[in-house]
Amino acid sequence: MRTSLAGEPLLELSGIAKRFAGVLALSGVDFTLRAGEVHGLVGENGAGKSTLMKIIAGVHAEYEGEMRLDGRPVRFRNARDARDAGIGMVHQELSTVPELSVAENVLLGAQPTRMGVVSWRRMRAQARRQLDAFGIDVDPRAPVGSLPLGLQQMVELARVLLSGARIIILDEPTSALSPPEVERLFALLARLRETGRSTVFISHFLDDVLRVSDEVTVFRNGRRVEGARADAVDKAWLIERMVGAGHERLGESHAGEMRLADRPTAPVVMAAERLSVPGLFEDVSLSVYAGEVLGIYGFMGSGQLELARALAGKLPLDGGAVRVDGQAARLRGGTPAAKRAGIAFVPESRRAMLFAQEPVYRNISIAILERIGRVLLRPRAERRIAEGHVQSLGIRPAGVDRPVGQLSGGNQQKVALARWLTHLPRVLLLSEPTRGMDVGAKDDVVRIVRGLRDAGIGVVVVSSEPETVLSLADRILVMRRGAIAREFVGEPVSKDRLLAAA
């Protein structure tokens, strides 16, 4: 395929280990980056890729093991040290200043001055030269916030390059980009390779990784599993090593196959047609049947979380229509309108759904107060309803008067679900319903969700964790870059297949 100009090891790491609050995030990791290569890093969430890169970029200063740059041992105390040594990182969340112009962002902290006054003319010219050198066609005067995400990323990259970086680390650079933007980024990476710079490319998009990398390395559970030349392996090879099929307990990893239910014959409770929110997802249509759990899976930034927010009335839709039981839902009216239409939503962040200082019973009754009493509150009825849920869901500790902020994460999630159990909605949207929970709490949530499904409502679970979707869903949609890429129904599915489709 391509002949790598790479030869000399530029950066060598050996025996790297890193703990967070006693928990091992990386252990015994060796990693070599050669001059002039693009090195792809793949692995599931929490496999340790980003942690390793943050050690290289000086973000994490505390670690075990050794790092050598140009053969000399180095130890960075902070990101500034790493930058001075020629290492630059473009994070998943961009750190450009949206209000400032492209030129100001590119030259941030290094503006050319004349007698202490910023010289705008020289700044623009300098930025122009820098951008041209990498074939980035953008007006240096434009505010960065006005540019499409892909160009914003280019601007950040240009800034990293201008700071003299020889090693550039890109964390998930393509997840939010449109196909033409991805092409532009790849062209830029090719140019960097020609100039002898090295790039580390972290991504969930395995096709992208295989296309652009010279070398690939797979991580799993904080260890380096295996590395290979990119043109010697394929996607299946990567997935096998990421998931670790055959090496782990099947039930936990969902590495084994399971068969999904056939398409339901029950009526459709929610039909969404051609939904769009520019920049997040385009032209998404889907149906949710009564008595099913629909899982929507996608990598971070693929648009599934935003889709759920839009269906809940939290994010204004740019186009499309949503019908619940055949009635048009007016989602422009926000969450109260969605609730009236029969759509309930439990967001991924518990802080965004619970009133930490208020007692458990008020957290449960908040969604049904108007059914308990039109004008006056009936605290006794509220308590009685809450006590019923606390008992049936096994919420611990059992009192309804304790501030909900004192409960554990799993119990908080149960309280948030209990809110919708008294008067069932038609559709319940759950965003990352089991994130950060222990196994027992996860099982409880699975049980609650199945109970809701059996009561005949349509449940939609959106997640960027394959396990979550696999453990809950009867039918699965996979989203990729803001569009539905594949539907799994009535067929065998496994983690490998989900990852391959995303």
Partner 1 sequence: MTASIAAPTRISPWVRLRGQLRNLAPLVTLVALIALFSATSPSFATLSNLSNVLQQVSITAIIAVGLTFVILCAEIDLSVASVANATGILVAFLTVQDASVNIPNLPLPGWLAIMGGLAGCLALGAVTAFGVTRIGIPSFIMTLAMLQIGNGICALLVRGQIAYSVPPVLLTLGSGSIGPVPWIVVVAGLTLLVGHLVLTYTRFGRYIYMVGGNREAAEHSGVGVKAVVGAALLISALCSGAAGMLGVAYFGSAQQNQFDNYLLDAISAVVVGGTSLFGGQGGIGNTIVGLLVLGVLNNGLDHVRMDSFLKILIRGLVLLLALVVNVYAQRLRAKYRSAGG
| Chain contacts with partner 1 (rule: CB under 8 A) | 312, 314, 334-336, 338-340, 344-347, 351-359, 362, 366-367, 369-370, 373-377, 397, 399, 401-403, 405-408, 419
Residue 372 beta carbon to partner 1: minimum distance, rounded to whole angstroms: 8
The distance of closest approach from Cβ of residue 207 to partner 1 in the complex, given in angstroms and rounded to an integer, is: 36
* Of residues 340 and 447, the one with the C-beta less far from partner 1: 340
Ordered alpha helix ranges (H), 36-117 = 49-56, 79-84, 102-106
Q: By C-beta, is 141 or 423 nearer to partner 1? A: 423
* CA–CA distance, 174 with 72 (Å, rounded to integer): 33
Nearest Cα residue to 208 out of 497, 502, 3: 502
Minimum distance from residue 419 beta carbon to partner 1 (Å)? 7
Tokens of 153: 């990323």
CB of 326 to partner 1, least distance (A): 21
Cβ nearer to partner 1, comparing 249 with 374? 374
DSSP H/E element including 211: helix 206-212
Q: How far is residue 469's CA from residue 475's CA, in Å, rounded to a whole number?
A: 9
**CB closer to partner 1 out of 20 and 355:** 355
Burial class (CB in 10 A: 0-12, 13-18, 19+), 122: middle
**How would you class 343 by CB atoms within 10 Å of its CB: exposed for 0-12, middle for 13-18, buried for 19 or more?**
buried
What is the closest distance, in whole angstroms, from the C-beta atom of residue 359 to partner 1 in the complex?
7
Burial category of 32 from C-beta neighbours within 10 Å (exposed 0-12, middle 13-18, buried 19 and up):
middle
Least distance in angstroms from the C-beta of 424 to partner 1: 14
Query: Minimum distance from CB of 499 to partner 1 (Å)?
Result: 31
Q: What is the dihedral of CA 67, 70, 73, 76, to 10 degrees?
A: -60
**Considering the complex, what minimum distance in angstroms separates the CB of residue 477 from partner 1?**
23
End-to-end CA distance of the chain: 25
Helix 439-454 crosses helix 409-418 at what angle (to 10 degrees)?
Answer: 10
Structure-token pair, residue 8: 């000399």
- Nearer to partner 1 by Cβ, of 238 and 386: the residue is 386
208, 173 Cβ separation under 8 angstroms: no
- By the 8 A CB rule, do 428 and 416 touch? no
The span from the CA of 176 to the CA of 362, in Å, is 39
- In the bound state with partner 1, the residue whose beta carbon lies nearer, of 384 and 402, is 402
Q: Give the three-class secondary structure for 346.
A: strand
Would you give the DSSP letter of residue 145? G
Nearer to partner 1, 23 or 115 (CB): 23
Least distance between partner 1 and beta carbon 409 (Å): 10
Contact assessment for residue 416 and residue 397, using Cβ atoms and an 8 Å cutoff? no
Q: What is the DSSP letter of 36?
A: T
Q: How far is the CB of 493 from partner 1 (least distance, A)?
A: 31
CB nearer to partner 1: pick between 359 and 482: 359
Tell me the torsion sign for CA atoms 18, 22, 24, 28: positive
Q: Mapping DSSP to helix (H, G, I), strand (E, B) and coil, where does residue 292 land?
A: coil
What does the block give as tokens for 61? 């200063």
Name the minimum Å distance from CB 478 to partner 1. Answer: 26
Q: Give the residue with the Cβ less far from partner 1, 297 or 361.
A: 361
**With respect to partner 1, which residue has the nearer C-beta, 266 or 356?**
356
- Count CB atoms within 10 A of the CB of residue 46: 14
If the CB atoms of residues 56 and 416 are measured against partner 1, the closer one turns out to be: 416
